[in-house]
Amino acid sequence: MQAALVLLLALSTPAFAEPAALPSEQRTLGGITEYRLDNGLQVLLMPQAGAPRIGLTVTYRVGSRHEGPGQAGMAHLLEHVTFRGTASIADLGAEMQRLGVSFNGTTSTDRTNYLSTFPAGDAATTLQRMLRLEASRMSEARLAEGDFAKEKPIVLNEMGLHDGVRRMRQGLLAAAFRQHPYGRPVIGYEADIEQLSLPTLQAFYRRHYRPENAVLMLTGGFEPVQALAAVAEIFGPLKNPEPPAAALLPPLPEQAEPQQTAPRVMTLRTASTALAVGWRVPGMAHEHAAAVVVLAQLLGQVPARLTERKPERPFSLAVLGEAGRTRDPALLGLVVQSPNTPSANADSRQALLSLESQWTDRLQDLRRAISPELVRQMTDTRARELAQALRDPMRAPALISDAVGAGDWRLAFWLQERLAALKPAAVYAAADLYLRSLNRVNARGVTDAAVPRQAMQFEEQPVTGIASWFERPVEVAHVSDPAGEIGELKPPQALGAGDAFETDPVLLERASRRYLLPSGIKLGVLPRNSADERVAVMLGFRWGRADDMARLAGWRALSGSMLEAGAAGRTAATIRQLKKALQAELRVASGPQSVTVQLLTRRQHLAPALQWVKELLSEPDLPEAAFEVERNAALARLAGAERNSSEGRTSAPERERQHRMAQMGLQPGDAGYQPSGAELAAQWRALTVADVREFQRKHWSANDLRITVAGQVPEGLVALVENLFAGWKKPDAPAYVSPAPVHKPVAAGRFATLSPGAASGEGDGQPAVVISLMQELPLSRGDEAYYPMLVGTRILGGGAISGGRLAERLRVQDAVSYRVDAQLRVPGDGDRAGLRLQASGAPGRAAQVEAALREEVQRLLAEGVSAEEVAHARSRLLADRRQRLSSEMGLAGALMVQLEREISFAQLLAEEEEGLAAVTPERVLLALRRLLKPDQWVTLIARAPS
C-alpha cells in the first residue's frame, strides 16, 4: 500500500501539472485532427462516439535507420529497456498491467512506437494515468545498468525465435543494401548488441526521445476537448533535452546506397531449402508507391502458378512487408521455402538454380505472367482494405505510425487515394522500371554443410552477352521532402458514430431476441446502433458423431477461398465483385462436425449478403484447381515433418505426441486423436476433390443451424432467414451428437531436442528453444475448481512482459526468457482439460528456464496467493469478457453460446461473475494443490518454430 501511495504521488508531481493553453487545430483529414504543442509534439485525435476502447499510440521518428556503424539493434533494445521503468515509476510494464491496459512496443527501420488500448469506460482515470506514464517514458526513462544488462539477453533470445524466413530476409536485405542501414536487421546483430555500452544507449535516448521528434495519437471512445486538455497539461511542460555530445554519439555518416550495376547473389546456410528474390523500389512518399504496394501483392502469384499442380514439391511464400511503408527506397521481395528441393551439395543445387531462373524470368516479365484482371482485383482489394483500416480507430494507429516514420502521417491517406485511382498500366510500368536484372538481388538458402552457418557469401554476377547491350542501371529515386509530395487530398469518409457498447447483462438481455423458426432454425438477434450501420452475422452448422467424423478428411479443404472459387453459377471473378459491392468480410472455419461462418457487412446489404453466403455454402463448385492450391499449401506446411518421417528422424514434439496418444489409448481414426505431421500429409495426399465434394454434399445443411445477428438489424430479418435456409435440409445427414471428451491421465515424460552447441549462451547463433511443462487435468466447467483454476492460471501467466509470476521471474528478474505464457484448456463439455506452461530461452539457458518455471509453481503451491493477486486476476478476466462483448461479432458469438446452452445473457454472465466473485486465495490454493502434480508433468524442450 505504501509503495502504491508513493507511485500515485509520483504520477501527480508538479512537473507534469502546470496548466497549458489548448493548442490550435492544424488540419483535419479522415476523421483525424492534428494539433501541435509549443514544444513540437504533434498530437492526432481520432474520436469515435460509441467506440468501446481508447487507443493511445506514441511514435518516435527513430528506427534502425538512425543507428550508426556497430550499433545495429540499438533502437529496438532501447524500446525494450524503457518498459523497465522511469525515474518516478518502478516498472512501466507492471503499472500498465495493473491498470488493465493492453500494450506493446514495436521498432521498424524508421520509427519506434508504443501502442496501448483500454476500455473507454475507464477513460476518466486510465487515460490520464496512461498519458502520465508515456510522458514519463519520454522525459525520464531510467536506463539503469541493471535494466540494460537484463534486456540484452532477452533481445538475443528474441533473435532466436525467428529463423527460416527471417534469415532469408536478412540475407536479401544484406545483398540489396551494402551501405544503407536498411541492410541491417532491425533486431540487430549479436556482436553489436553484446558490445553496446549504456552511455551510448542513453545518448541515443536523449537524441531521439523528445517532444519535437514524437507524434501522440488518441483514437476511439474519448471526449476530444477533455483529452486535448489532458495532453496539453501533461506533455506541454516537457522540454526538448540538449543533444548528446558528438564524441559520445557521433552524427550519422552519409548512408545513401550507391547505384547497383550488376545482379547480386547472397548464399547462406538454412535449415531447409529456400529462395528469395528482391528489387529496390522507392519509399512511401514516391509517386510509384501505390504501384509498388500492388506489385508486392502480385509477386506471390507467379511461383504459385508455376508449381500449384506439383504436390510432390510443396512450397510456402512470404512477401516482404517493407514495400510502400518506408522513408527511403526499400526492398520489394519474396521468400519461397521449398523444403523438398535438394540443396545439400553443389550438384543437387542445380535444381534449385533452375527453379530460381524460372521464377526470376517470369517475375521480370509480369505483363505475360499476370493478367490485367488480376491486377485490378489486387488493386481494388488493397485500396478497400487500406480504406477500411484507416476508418477503424483500433487499426488506424499502426498505419499512421508507419506513415510518420516515412515522413508525414497523411501519407497513409495519400497512398490510399492513389491506390483507388491506380490503373493496371501503371502497375505494369512500375514492374518494367524496377523488376530488372541490374536492380535484382537473390538469396539462396541451402542445406549444404560446406556453407558456414554464420557467414553469408556475397557475389555480383555481371550481365554478359547480348543482354548487356540493353541493360542499364535502375535509378531508384529518394524523396527528400515527403510532406511536399502530398498536396491537396480529397477528404475520405470518416467512421460514423454509434452507441457505446453495453456490457451489463440485464440490459443486454432486455435488448436480445431469440426465435425458434418453423424449420427448426434457432435465431438470436441483438439490435444496436452500430458505427457505419455495421451488422455481424454468425452461422453455426453441425452434424454427426465425433467417432464417425474422425475417420473423414474432406472437411480439411473446405476453406473460404475454396468456396469463393465459384458457386451457384458465379465465377470467382464475379464473386469477388459481388463481395466488394456488398462491403462484406467473410470467414469460414470448417471442422469434422461443424462449420462456422462469420459475416460482416452493412445494414442495407444484409439480405443480399446472406443470400450470397447461402449460395456459397449450399451450391459451391469446389473446382479442382482451387483444391490443388489448398492441398499444396497444406503440404508445404507439413513438408518438414514429412521429410523427417521419411528419413527416420523423430523430433521431440513428435515423441511427446506419440507418448500422449499412447497414454490416452487413442489410435488414428479415434475421436480426439492428434495426427502427426506425416500422417496429416498422407491424408492430404490421399484426399481428392471428389472426397471434398462428397463431404460437403452429405454433411452441410440447415438440419442443425443456429444464426446470430448483432448490429444494425433491418426489418424482416426473421422471414429472410426462414426463406433462405428452411429448404436446405438433408434428411439422410447424420444427426449431431455433442462430443464430451473424458479425462485420461498421461504419465510423466521428458522429450528434449537441443541444437548442437546448446551448452553455450545467447550469442551462439542457435535458434531459441521453447520449454513447455504440460499436464492433463480432470476439470470441467461445472467443477467447483473451474473458476479458482482460471484465476490461478492468470496469476501465473498474467503477461508476457510483466504482471504474472512467471513473467516477473523469468523475464523481469532472471532475464532468461523473451516469451512466457500459461494456458488452461477446459472443454465446453466433458472434463479433458489441460495446463501448459511455456517459456522461450537460449539453448544454453534451457535448464535454468525449466528450473525457474518449476520453482515458481512450487512456491505457489507452498505459499498460496494473495488477496491482491486474486482481485487483480479477477478484474482482468472480467475485463477480457467486456472486451469480447465490445464488438458486433463478439456479441454475435455470445448469443451463439447462449443458443447452444439454452441460457440467457443474464444467466451466462451472472454465472461468470458469481463464479469469479466466489474465488478466494484459499480456494485458489485448494484447487491448485488438488489438480497440479509437478511430478506428473510432461516436459518438452524443442526448437522454437520459425
| Residue 854 C-beta-side C-alpha neighbours within 13 Å | 15
- Judged against a pLDDT cut of 90, whether residue 314 lies above it is answered with no
pLDDT for 61 equals 98
Give 496's pLDDT tier (boundaries 50, 70, 90).
Answer: low
Residues 126 and 196 in one domain: yes
Write the DSSP string, 70-111: T-TTHHHHHHHHHTT-BSS-S-HHHHHHHHT-EEEEEE-SS-
- For 667, the grid coordinates are 489410435
What average pLDDT does the segment 203-224 reach? 97
- Judged against a pLDDT cut of 90, whether residue 349 lies above it is answered with no
Spatial distance between the Cα atoms of 55 and 46, rounded to a whole number of angstroms: 9
| C-alpha to C-alpha distances, 177 to 181, 287, 354, 595, nearest whole angstrom | 7, 22, 26, 47
End of a domain among 451, 485, 519?
A: 485
603: in domain? yes
Spatial distance between the Cα atoms of 604 and 606, rounded to a whole number of angstroms: 6
734: in domain? no
Residues 398 and 509 in one domain: no
Residues 477 and 511 in one domain: no
167: in domain? yes
Domain containing 137 equals 2-235
End of a domain among 453, 485, 517?
A: 485
302: in domain? yes
What average pLDDT does the segment 714-728 reach? 97
Query: Please, what is the Cα angle at 265 between 259 and 271, to 5 degrees?
Result: 140
8-state DSSP, 286: S
Spatial distance between the Cα atoms of 567 and 726, rounded to a whole number of angstroms: 19
pLDDT for 375 equals 94
Residues 667 and 758 in one domain: no
- Judged against a pLDDT cut of 80, whether residue 407 lies above it is answered with yes
User: Is the distance from CB of 231 to CB of 43 less than 8 angstroms?
Assistant: yes
Residues 456 and 544 in one domain: no
Residues 850 and 782 in one domain: yes
Spatial distance between the Cα atoms of 752 and 769, rounded to a whole number of angstroms: 10
Residues 518 and 548 in one domain: yes
Residues 509 and 472 in one domain: no
- For 615, the grid coordinates are 449460395
pLDDT for 346 equals 78
Spatial distance between the Cα atoms of 361 and 245, rounded to a whole number of angstroms: 51
- Judged against a pLDDT cut of 50, whether residue 755 lies above it is answered with no
Predicted confidence (pLDDT) per residue in 442-484, tens digit: 999 998 888 887 778 888 887 766 666 667 889 999 999 999 9
- Judged against a pLDDT cut of 60, whether residue 639 lies above it is answered with yes
What average pLDDT does the segment 311-331 reach? 78
pLDDT for 11 equals 39
Q: What mean pLDDT value characterizes the chain?
A: 89
Spatial distance between the Cα atoms of 639 and 636, rounded to a whole number of angstroms: 5
Predicted confidence (pLDDT) per residue in 507-555, tens digit: 888 999 999 999 999 999 999 988 778 899 999 999 999 999 999 999 9
Instruction: Look at the chain and report how many structural domains it folds into.
Output: 4
| C-alpha to C-alpha distances, 528 to 52, 120, 155, 495, nearest whole angstrom | 13, 18, 45, 16
Q: Using the CB atoms, write b or e for 897-927: b if 16+ within 10 Å.
A: ebbeeeebbbebbeebeebbeebebebbbbb
User: Is the distance from CB of 734 to CB of 544 less than 8 angstroms?
Assistant: yes
812: in domain? yes
- Judged against a pLDDT cut of 60, whether residue 310 lies above it is answered with no
Give 13's pLDDT tier (boundaries 50, 70, 90).
Answer: very low
User: Is the distance from CB of 231 to CB of 47 less than 8 angstroms?
Assistant: no
859: in domain? yes
Predicted confidence (pLDDT) per residue in 769-823, tens digit: 999 999 999 999 999 999 999 999 999 987 655 568 999 899 889 989 988 999 9
Spatial distance between the Cα atoms of 592 and 558, rounded to a whole number of angstroms: 10
pLDDT for 165 equals 80
End of a domain among 693, 725, 757?
A: 725
- Judged against a pLDDT cut of 90, whether residue 49 lies above it is answered with no
| Residue that wins the pLDDT comparison between 243 and 215 | 215
What average pLDDT does the segment 638-654 reach? 84
User: Is the distance from CB of 335 to CB of 271 less than 8 angstroms?
Assistant: no
Residues 224 and 148 in one domain: yes
| Residue that wins the pLDDT comparison between 460 and 726 | 726
Contacts of 677 (CB under 8 A, 6+ apart): 638, 640, 641, 642, 644, 645, 654
- Judged against a pLDDT cut of 70, whether residue 764 lies above it is answered with no
Residues 226 and 275 in one domain: no
The CATH number covering residue 164 comes to: 3.30.830.10
- Judged against a pLDDT cut of 90, whether residue 146 lies above it is answered with yes
Q: What SS3 class is residue 606?
A: helix
- Judged against a pLDDT cut of 90, whether residue 369 lies above it is answered with no
- Judged against a pLDDT cut of 80, whether residue 6 lies above it is answered with no
Contacts of 149 (CB under 8 A, 6+ apart): 815
pLDDT for 759 equals 39
Predicted confidence (pLDDT) per residue in 677-717, tens digit: 999 999 999 999 999 999 999 999 999 999 999 999 999 99
pLDDT for 532 equals 77
Q: End-to-end CA distance of the chain, in Å?
A: 44
- For 50, the grid coordinates are 460509441
Predicted confidence (pLDDT) per residue in 861-885, tens digit: 999 999 999 999 999 898 888 888 8
| Residue that wins the pLDDT comparison between 20 and 286 | 286
732: in domain? no
H helix intervals, 286-409: 289-299, 301-307, 349-363, 366-369, 372-391, 396-406
Nearest one of 472, 497, 349, 367 to 426, comparing CA atoms: 367
What average pLDDT does the segment 101-120 reach? 95
Q: What is the dihedral of CA 150, 155, 157, 159, to 10 degrees?
A: -170
Lowest mean pLDDT among 78-92, 306-320, 516-530, 608-622: 306-320
Residues 407 and 525 in one domain: no
Residues 558 and 636 in one domain: yes
Give 490's pLDDT tier (boundaries 50, 70, 90).
Answer: confident
8-state DSSP, 837: E
H helix intervals, 676-828: 677-686, 689-699, 717-725, 786-796, 805-807
Predicted confidence (pLDDT) per residue in 562-584, tens digit: 999 999 999 998 999 899 899 99
pLDDT for 469 equals 66
743: in domain? no
Element (H, E) at 275: strand 274-281
- For 809, the grid coordinates are 521471474
Spatial distance between the Cα atoms of 519 and 705, rounded to a whole number of angstroms: 10
What average pLDDT does the segment 325-351 reach? 86
Query: Please, what is the Cα angle at 701 between 736 and 611, to 5 degrees?
Result: 140
Give 766's pLDDT tier (boundaries 50, 70, 90).
Answer: low
| Residue 832 C-beta-side C-alpha neighbours within 13 Å | 12
Q: Of all residues in the chain, what percent carry a pLDDT higher than 90?
A: 66
- Judged against a pLDDT cut of 60, whether residue 18 lies above it is answered with no
